Structure 1
Amino acid sequence: MSTLLVIGLGIVGLAVLAVGADQLVVGAGRLATVLRVAPVIVGVVVIGLGTSAPEFVVSGVAAVRDDAGLALGSLVGSNILNVTLILGVVAIVSPVVVRSSVPVREAPLMVASVAIFGAFALVGMKFVAGVLLAVLTVGALVLLVRLSRVPPDDPLPDDVAAFVEPSPPPGRWWVEAVRTLLGLAATLGGAQLLVANASTLAHRWGVSDTVIGFTLLAGSTALPELTTAVQAQRRGQGDLMVGNLLGSNLFNSLIGGAVVGLAAGEDTIAPFGFAAVTAMVGAGVLAWLLLKRGNRITRPEAAVLLCSYALMLPLLISANP
């Protein structure tokens, strides 16, 4: 198979993944509304889990295929990219303002989740680690819902409602059920195609799976976060934009890590590079500290985030030739 064909198939996989994840999110959101699930749950699933779905699906597929470097590299790279490149690009265009609760609540929870995932990645992901991260995922979801303090019968907040599609008529719920299942199938199929061809390219070009993971795959699977961030900032919803990026890192670390650990089964996925894990945790801490300074990300601070990403990437590539 020619290299050009491999690249083409990878692009097709990315397109199928993006469309499938989008339809999965839309279908799940509409079904949740029809089934009268609490609005805050809709918000968390659609915006937080929904935009993170490509990351942990790709990582799970890569882990099953024994591509450990791709599996962990995609999660680590996405966690770095979200709070440096994406946040920096959005804030350099228009300064981001958030409420005081974000640096106090979501940001430290995100940093803690990333640090726990990083610790497991350093010693080698195992089935037990996957189970522990799955338990922590449930705990984090419960905590986020409790902290939201939104009564079950309240309408969706404006910043969340802007991203939730109108619900279908009650009699057409099966259409959204089919949409959700097809979206899930497309997401899994697209992820398989993307991972397989990314791995092939890595081997042909003599590049490690890890580098492909935290560059090509991380950038590809971060597209939903980038799109949501741009739309939220255009609407003046700084809290939603930052919350989506922080929530994505939280779910990438907990759910993504759980999927990789559980997929490992009786095997142990080799420890990940110290430099990459340190960069991932450091990026999260840097974003938290900048938000904590004045509940905003100014243009100079956005430049700091962009420079951090520009400095981290060559170091990560050189550390994982």
Structure 2
Amino acid sequence: MLYSFFLLAVGLIVLVVGGELLVRGASSVALRVKISPLVVGLTIVAFGTSAPELFISVQSALEGSPDLAMGNVVGSNICNLALVLGCTALIFPVPVHRDSIKIDWPMTIGSSLFLYFLIHDYLISAIEGTIFVLCLTIYTTLIIIKSRRENHKGAEILEEADLPEKPSKNVWLDVAFIILGTLGLAFGSDWFVDGAKSLAISFGVSERVIGVTVLALGTSLPELVTATVAAFRKATDIAIGNLLGSNIFNILSILGITSVIQPIDVNETIVSEDMLWMLGITVIIFPMMHFKRRITRLEGLLLLLIYSSYIYWVVQTR
């Protein structure tokens, strides 16, 4: 069991470092060829921050563990809106911008409902995965077109990700970052998935339970750390937009790309139970977003109680 936790910890660290290196290298190369900071922020940075989840899902599907792939995405979405948003709001209330209500939330619930009705045959096929990727491409393109009116938007995204607005001075260093980042993601995902599978065997639980709890929490830790640090600094302005965007990307990109590579068999329990929790939490935050246009500390506490209830329910019904 200790070896399983060791694999999980090392795999997660290598995944996070690998994703960071890939984003830094790819962003610098993109800026070097005159791609605008806005496009870099909305594409490369968004993809890079979700790269660990993508590699984990692909690795899980290829190794014949679709419950880990699907559970990781659904569990991460629940974790983002209940645990991460709850912790952030409990530390410092989270303001809600108009775009989050008019664009991000409708897209989040829309992609979630689309996924829910699509997987009632308990399979995400390559064709359905392609549709997800096309939807993400259209959504990202529309966001870029809209954001071009806000010239500061790209700078804000890069600043939030702690990335420079100009390319580095050494192109070979950028290439090295991309190669090392990709290798880190490949090896890290392999170790992380192996650790998760070993943990499931050790505890005598299903891979679905490990997917929606351990894997989901592990891959959401970077968002949790970033959001809570921002909350302590009282800089939570873009927290909810980032979390909703992450949920959209998890569904359309991670499940989309994974199913194109390897169709995903979906556990019946994930469809009938976990997905309903994910949809329910997404619906619950909508009136919270409307009320005074901020998520209050009391609402943050409520979200944490909901997440605790979900974890308790998963463990009890394993």
User: TM-score normalized by structure 1?
Assistant: 0.90
Q: Do the aligned partners of residues 89 and 47 (structure 1) sit closer, same or farther apart at CA in structure 2, a change above 3 Å counting? A: farther
Corresponding residue SS for 1:238: coil
| 1:304 CA displacement | 1.4
1:139 aligned onto 2:138? yes
Q: Percent identity?
A: 31
**Alpha-carbon displacement from aligned partner over 1:257-303 (angstroms, at most 9, x marks no partner):** 113322334x7445433110000111112223311222200111111
Indicate if the aligned counterparts of 1:229 and 1:242 stay in contact, CA closer than 8 A: no
1:218 aligned onto 2:216? yes
Q: Supply the AA of the counterpart residue of 1:119.
A: F
Indicate if the aligned counterparts of 2:132 and 2:253 stay in contact, CA closer than 8 A: yes
**Alpha-carbon displacement from aligned partner over 1:29-71 (angstroms, at most 9, x marks no partner):** 2222222212222222355333222112211110111101101
Specify the alignment match of 2:290 in structure 1: 292
Q: Supply the AA of the counterpart residue of 1:7.
A: F
Corresponding residue SS for 2:224: helix
Q: Do the aligned partners of residues 216 and 103 (structure 1) sit closer, same or farther apart at CA in structure 2, a change above 3 Å counting? A: same
Q: Supply the AA of the counterpart residue of 2:307.
A: Y
Specify the alignment match of 1:148 in structure 2: 147
Specify the alignment match of 1:253 in structure 2: 251
1:39 aligned onto 2:37? yes
CA distance in structure 2 between the aligned counterparts of 1:247 and 1:104, rounded to whole angstroms: 13
Q: Supply the AA of the counterpart residue of 2:77.
A: N
Corresponding residue SS for 1:166: coil
Indicate if the aligned counterparts of 1:51 and 1:225 stay in contact, CA closer than 8 A: no
Find 2:79's aligned residue among 64, 67, 81: 81
Q: Supply the AA of the counterpart residue of 2:178.
A: T
Q: Supply the AA of the counterpart residue of 1:247.
A: G
User: TM-score normalized by structure 2?
Assistant: 0.91
Corresponding residue SS for 1:102: helix
Q: Give the gaps of 5 or more residues in structure 2.
A: none
CA distance in structure 2 between the aligned counterparts of 1:50 and 1:230, rounded to whole angstroms: 20
CA distance in structure 2 between the aligned counterparts of 1:76 and 1:210, rounded to whole angstroms: 10
Q: Supply the AA of the counterpart residue of 2:143.
A: L
Indicate if the aligned counterparts of 2:7 and 2:194 stay in contact, CA closer than 8 A: no
**Alpha-carbon displacement from aligned partner over 1:100-125 (angstroms, at most 9, x marks no partner):** 22111111111212222233334322
Indicate if the aligned counterparts of 1:63 and 1:260 stay in contact, CA closer than 8 A: yes
Q: Do the aligned partners of residues 307 and 169 (structure 1) sit closer, same or farther apart at CA in structure 2, a change above 3 Å counting? A: closer
CA distance in structure 2 between the aligned counterparts of 1:160 and 1:25, rounded to whole angstroms: 10
The aligned runs of 1:1-321 (5 Å cut-off) are: 3-45=1-43, 47-124=45-122, 125-150=124-149, 156-158=154-156, 160-166=158-164, 172-265=170-263, 268-271=265-268, 272-319=270-317, 321=318
Q: Do the aligned partners of residues 258 and 95 (structure 1) sit closer, same or farther apart at CA in structure 2, a change above 3 Å counting? A: same
Q: Do the aligned partners of residues 31 and 169 (structure 1) sit closer, same or farther apart at CA in structure 2, a change above 3 Å counting? A: closer
Q: Supply the AA of the counterpart residue of 2:135.
A: L
**Alpha-carbon displacement from aligned partner over 1:223-271 (angstroms, at most 9, x marks no partner):** 2212332344345443321121111101001111113322334x74454
Q: Give the gaps of 5 or more residues in structure 1.
A: none
Runs of 4+ in 1 over 6 A off after TM superposition: none
- Size of the aligned set, in residue pairs, is 316
Q: Supply the AA of the counterpart residue of 1:175.
A: L
CA distance in structure 2 between the aligned counterparts of 1:115 and 1:300, rounded to whole angstroms: 28
Q: Do the aligned partners of residues 32 and 229 (structure 1) sit closer, same or farther apart at CA in structure 2, a change above 3 Å counting? A: farther
Q: Do the aligned partners of residues 240 and 42 (structure 1) sit closer, same or farther apart at CA in structure 2, a change above 3 Å counting? A: farther
Q: Do the aligned partners of residues 115 and 187 (structure 1) sit closer, same or farther apart at CA in structure 2, a change above 3 Å counting? A: same
Corresponding residue SS for 1:227: helix
Corresponding residue SS for 1:233: helix
**RMSD between superposed Cα atoms in Å:** 2.2
Q: Supply the AA of the counterpart residue of 2:206.
A: S
| 1:182 CA displacement | 1.1
